[in-house]
Amino acid sequence: MHCHILIAVVLWSISIDSQTIRGISLSYKRFYRERKSFLCIDGSKLIPFDQVNDDYCDCVDGSDEPGTAACPGGRFYCTNLGYRPHYIPSSRVNDAICDCCDASDEYNSHTLCQNTCRDLGQTEREEVKSQMKALDEGLRLKQELIQEGIQMWQDKQAQLRDLQRVSDDLQTQLDDLRKEDVRRKEEVDALRELVNSHRGHNSTESPVSESDRSRDGSVTVKEVQAKLADIQAEGRDLSEDGAIIRGSSVPGQPAEEEDPVVKAAISAAEKAAAELKRIEDAYEAVYMEIRDLREKLATDFGPEREFLFLHIQCFHQKVNEYFYELCPFNQVTQTSASGAEVSLGKWGSWADSRENRYGQMKYVNGEPCWQGPTRNTVVTLTCGTETAMRSVKEPSKCQYAVEFQTPVACRLAQRGRGIHSEL
């Protein structure tokens, strides 16, 4: 009860004040205490108090005429009870146009202004209410997406560990296969050298079979090397027939059939080389995959990795003749009706702003613009219950601005300010 009386008294005193001194806010009331004289707020002049709001400008700062249009550059305070108070230029006072929703600026004009403050206030409160509802829903969805991100992060880590294991395994195989490859090549070289060195020797038996000291039907590199040593010890002049050219026939003579054992050794060496190549290729592919994954995992996906879920998705929007695609943390492209695709920038970084570090993304170094800069795109993230591209604009040639809405852009700090206040 007491409370109601108090409010009524305060409202009554405000209305009395605004009747007495028109166009001032409560915080300025102290300058206009009824006295004999009034000191201009800038302190420049002392005038009789009855010259305040007398429709004649006395103060340079216009402070003696807050409620009339007499002073150029003066301002009039609309109290707008029930809505938002605000200042209007005092030149608009009594100009036959309703500016203040409480109609206070047209107190002496023929225009009849309605007090619309209550309705405006009501509409605004409903708007704020629905924004807050959307914010709450956005924040709830954000939590779900954070969880999704955590799961994705763990999966990526597991994938990295698996790839690392595969890579280690391939590395071991490579070590063995490289040794095997060298051994096989040495074997072929040694056999060929033996065959060449034996040329001109009038033995009916093949030098390779002669090398088979163990008579087990196959020759080892050791046996071949031992045979070579024997030939050299016999003091034969191997250079006489000019044949010691690895793996080649004597120049000017028809190529001789390779010894079957040499052939088999060559085939085994080729197989070993092919296998080595196969594993080298596999290792290279895994290496690239690990590098790409590590690079991806090093991206700043936000303090709670809330933006991680976006990196595997692409979003679209058609504006006029262009089709735009945004693949977050990757690239932005523009495709014209003819099907020609143009890069509007590759993922660069978050645009650093102290207010919100994760409010804007920069995509840079797109296709160069004809007689202009390279194409770049700034993606502004706004809070909403859906994840989608909202608009694409080209504010200046080849510089693009995308509005992208997603729950993960919702922040608790937006409560109380209205979620659209930052746009």
- The residues that touch ligand MAN, with contacts defined as CB under 6 A, are 334, 342, 369-370, 394, 397-398
CA-CA distance, 49 to 138, in Å (whole number)? 56
Least Å distance between CB 321 and ligand MAN? 9
Least Å distance between CB 342 and ligand MAN? 5
In the bound state with ligand MAN, the residue whose beta carbon lies nearer, of 114 and 391, is: 391
CA-CA distance, 289 to 305, in Å (whole number)? 22
Least Å distance between CB 144 and ligand MAN? 36
In the bound state with ligand MAN, the residue whose beta carbon lies nearer, of 35 and 370, is: 370
Least Å distance between CB 336 and ligand MAN? 7
Cα–Cα nearest to 32, from 72, 69, 66, 55: 66
Least Å distance between CB 387 and ligand MAN? 25
CA-CA distance, 327 to 349, in Å (whole number)? 14
In the bound state with ligand MAN, the residue whose beta carbon lies nearer, of 238 and 392, is: 392
Count of alpha carbons within 13 Å of 266, Cβ hemisphere only?
10
In the bound state with ligand MAN, the residue whose beta carbon lies nearer, of 216 and 321, is: 321
Buried b (16+ CB within 10 A) or exposed e, 203-221: eeebbbebbbeeeeeebeb
Buried b (16+ CB within 10 A) or exposed e, 65-87: bbbbbbbeebbbbbbbbebeeee
Cα–Cα nearest to 348, from 313, 374, 384, 319: 374
Least Å distance between CB 328 and ligand MAN? 21
Q: Hey, how many other C-beta atoms are within 10 angstroms of the C-beta on 137?
A: 15
In the bound state with ligand MAN, the residue whose beta carbon lies nearer, of 309 and 363, is: 363
Backbone Cα Rg of the chain: 44
Question: Which ranges of 199-259 does DSSP label H, i.e. alpha helix?
Answer: 207-211, 221-233
Least Å distance between CB 335 and ligand MAN? 10
In the bound state with ligand MAN, the residue whose beta carbon lies nearer, of 19 and 338, is: 338
Residue 108 in tokens = 């002496």
Largest CA distance in the chain: 142
Question: Which stretch of DSSP H or E encloses residue 379?
Answer: strand 376-383
CA-CA distance, 195 to 206, in Å (whole number)? 8
Question: Which stretch of DSSP H or E encloses residue 183?
Answer: helix 117-198
Q: Helix or strand or coil: residue 340?
A: coil
In the bound state with ligand MAN, the residue whose beta carbon lies nearer, of 207 and 345, is: 345
Least Å distance between CB 166 and ligand MAN? 42
Name the packing angle between helices 221-233 and 117-198 (round to 10°). 40
Vertex 300: Cα angle to 150 and 388 (nearest 5): 75
- Residue type, position 369, single letter: C
In the bound state with ligand MAN, the residue whose beta carbon lies nearer, of 131 and 334, is: 334
Task: Give the Å distances, CA to CA, from 223 to 195, 211, 220, 246.
Answer: 13, 6, 5, 18
Residue showing the smallest CB distance to ligand MAN in the complex:
370
Least Å distance between CB 399 and ligand MAN? 9
Assess contact for 92 and 69: CB atoms under 8 A: yes
Least Å distance between CB 381 and ligand MAN? 22
In the bound state with ligand MAN, the residue whose beta carbon lies nearer, of 3 and 370, is: 370
In the bound state with ligand MAN, the residue whose beta carbon lies nearer, of 322 and 350, is: 322
Least Å distance between CB 127 and ligand MAN? 34
